Amino acid sequence: MRIGIIGAGALGGTFAALLHQAGHDVEVTARGASLAAIRDGGIQLTGGYGDVHARVEASELLTRRPDLVLVCTKAQDAEAAITANAEVIDGATVVVVQNGLDGVDTAAKLLPRSSCLGLLSIIAANHTEPGSVRVTSTAESFLGRGDGPPDDESRRIAEVLSEAVPVAAIGGFRGAQWTKLVVNMVNAVPAIVGRSVQEALSNRLLRRVITASMRETVRIGIARGIRFGSLQGLDDRRLRRFARMPLWIGQRLPRTLFAYLGSVPNLGSTQQSVRRGQPTEIDFLNGAVVRQAEAIGSDAPVNRALVQLVHEVEREGFLPVERVVAVLRN
């Protein structure tokens, strides 16, 4: 199949290398040093899916009409990236590989002739240098759209993507996006203090703040009438129970949830942006929770404070642990 990948970063590079290895005709978009590195030496993938060296075609914009497109940018870049490639991709099946709640709707709005799906990835991947990606932990990914059961196209595309990494077609995709949003509450705190996800979770005080942001997200989701999808051992029942727990009991949830990361330090995709000096996705993660709260006349003070701290880090660098701990005192 001819597959176009927009944004050959951590996940885009992983999919590009593995789909190329599976025999697909892959073209990626990249810019600057990444474009030069991929044109010169291909994509070098290491870690959980083995060592793969993929010599794929690379350009600033896709040059050939693909059958399938993966949009692998951060959420804040999706609109610009899709618009720039719209002439070539409108009409193709588009999979938006993205955290947050908006990816599929953004693509569908910009590409009226395309069939758009979303992919929730639990894989942890690190874009270590231009052209190089290291997968620090592997896991099944989830493909779907809307609220209904999985459709035939989701199943067909899940089969194609499973030639690269395990992908399941799921129903109730919107609810699963919310569950993934709860999981992504692990991104902000490590990005603020410049520690790995594992280090942040092993610190009692930081874990408390992560737990509070997760619980606030679940409570807002419940108030919005969301039925949380099953993903990574979480489901609607478990999250509703978690929403009622005091923090000292609830803090067990992030500990068990992220045990799968193992001991290879995972920075999370938000901190990777910080370390590269790029804007983060925080307005589409914790910021999405704040907007969802506002839509029902409510507030999400923990998430609001974490958004502000991540923006401070983007401007001025990592902050001491005390600044995060203070979030629960205000």
Ligand X SMILES: CC(C)(CO)C(=O)C(=O)O
Ligand Y SMILES: NC(=O)C1=CN([C@@H]2O[C@H](COP(=O)(O)OP(=O)(O)OC[C@H]3O[C@@H](n4cnc5c(N)ncnc54)[C@H](OP(=O)(O)O)[C@@H]3O)[C@@H](O)[C@H]2O)C=CC1
Which residues here bind ligand Y, judged by CB under 6 A? Answer: 6-12, 29-32, 34, 72-75, 77, 80-81, 84, 97-99, 121, 123-125, 127, 269, 272-273, 281
Question: Cα–Cα distances in Å, from 59 out to 35, 36, 37, 71, 78?
Answer: 7, 9, 11, 15, 17
Asked if residues 231 and 255 have their Cβ atoms less than 8 Å apart, the reply is no
Binding mask 82-121 for ligand X (x = CB under 6 A): -----------------x----------------------
**Candidate list 34, 230, 269, 292; residue touching ligand X; CB under 6 A:** 269
Instruction: Enumerate residues 184-223 that contact ligand X by CB under 6 A.
Output: 184, 186-187
Question: Is-contact 310 286, C-beta < 8 A?
Answer: yes
DSSP state of 132: E
Which token pair is 228?
Answer: 């949380």
| DSSP assignments along 217-261, one per residue | HHHHHHHTT--PPPBTTB-HHHHHHHHTS-HHHHTHHHHHHTGGG
Q: Work out how close the CB of 329 gets to ligand Y at its nearest, in angstroms, rounded to a whole number.
A: 29
Whether the CB-CB separation of 305 and 228 falls below 8 Å is answered with: no
The tokens of 15 are what? 């999919």
Q: How far is the CB of 84 from ligand Y (least distance, A)?
A: 6
Residue choice 124, 182, 274, 309 for contact with ligand X (CB under 6 A): 124
| Residue nearest to ligand X as judged by C-beta position | 269
**Interface size with ligand X, residues (CB under 6 A):** 10
Q: How far is the CB of 197 from ligand X (least distance, A)?
A: 6
**For ligand X, the closer CB: 122 or 319:** 122
The answer to the question of residue 126 lying near ligand X (CB under 6 A) is: no
